[in-house]
Chains A and B, each alone.
Chain A
Amino acid sequence: MTCFSICSRLPSSRLSPSNPPPTKTFLAFLAFPREVPPQRLTLPRNASPFRIACSSSSSSSSSSSSSSGDASGDQSSSNFCIIEGPETLQDFVQMQLQDIQDSIRSRRNKIFLLMEEVRRLRVQQRTKSVKVINENGKEEADEMPDIPSSIPFLPHLTQKTLRQLYLTSLSFIGGIILFGGLIAPTLELKLGLGGTSYEDFIRNMHLPLQLSQVDPIVASFSGGAVGVISTLMLMEANNVEQQEKKRCKYCHGTGYLACARCSASGVCLSVNPILVTGAADRPLQVPKTERCPNCSGAGKVMCPTCLCTGMLMASEHDLRIDPFD
Chain B
Amino acid sequence: MSGVLLWVVGPKGNAASLFNLEPRTSKKQRALRSYPRVRVVSVVSAVSSSVASPSRSSVDRVYEVVLKQAALVREQRREKALDVKKPEEAEGLTGSDLLNTAYERCGEVCAEYAKTFYLGTLLMTPERRRAVWAIYVWCRRTDELVDGPNATHITPKALDRWEKRLNDLFEGRPYDMYDAALADTVSKYPVDIQPFKDMIEGMRLDLRKSRYMNFDELYLYCYYVAGTVGLMSVPVMGIAPESKASTESVYNAALALGVANQLTNILRDVGEDARRGRIYLPQDELARAGLSDEDILRGKVTDKWKGFMKEQIKRARKFFDEAEKGVVELNAASRWPVMASLLLYKQILDAIEANDYNNFTRRAYVGKAKKLILLPVAYGRALVGPSADGRA
Contact = CB atoms under 8 A, between A and B. Distances in A.
B92 A263 contact: yes
Interface stretch (B142-150, B196-204, B211-219, B325-333): B142-150
A305 B144 contact: yes
A301 B176 contact: yes
Given A257-B178, A258-B177, A260-B93, A249 B164 contact: no
B142 to A, nearest CB: 10
Interface stretch (A22-30, A33-41, A77-85): A77-85
Interface in A262-309: 262-264, 268-269, 271, 294, 301, 303-307
B161 to A, nearest CB: 5
B176 A312 contact: no
A288 to B, nearest CB: 14
Nearest to B164: A85
A86 interface: yes
A249 B162 contact: no
A139 interface: yes
Nearest to A314: B150
Contact of A305 (B34, B101, B141, B155): B141
Interface residues of A, number: 36
A257 B177 contact: yes
Contact of B31 (A78, A138, A257, A262): A138
The main secondary structure of chain B at its interface with chain A is helix
B112 A249 contact: yes
B161 A259 contact: no
B93 A304 contact: no
B109 A81 contact: no
Given A83-B162, A249-B108, A269-B91, A257 B176 contact: yes
A312 B28 contact: yes
Given A139-B35, A312-B28, A81 B158 contact: yes
A85 B92 contact: no
Interface string A62-95: 0000000000000000110111111000000000
B104 to A, nearest CB: 12
Contacts of B141: 250, 304-305
A142 B176 CA distance: 29
In the A-B complex, the 8 residue pairs with the smallest Cβ-Cβ separation, listed nearest first, are A260-B180, A257-B176, A260-B174, A313-B149, A81-B157, A258-B177, A83-B158, A314-B150
Interface of A: 78-79, 81-86, 135, 138-139, 142, 245, 249-250, 257-264, 268-269, 271, 294, 301, 303-307, 312-314
Interface of B: 28, 31, 34-35, 91-95, 98, 101-102, 105, 108-109, 112-113, 137, 141, 144-145, 148-150, 153-155, 157-158, 160-162, 164-165, 168, 173-180, 183
9 contacts: A81-B157, A83-B145, A85-B175, A245-B28, A257-B178, A260-B174, A263-B93, A268-B91, A304-B162
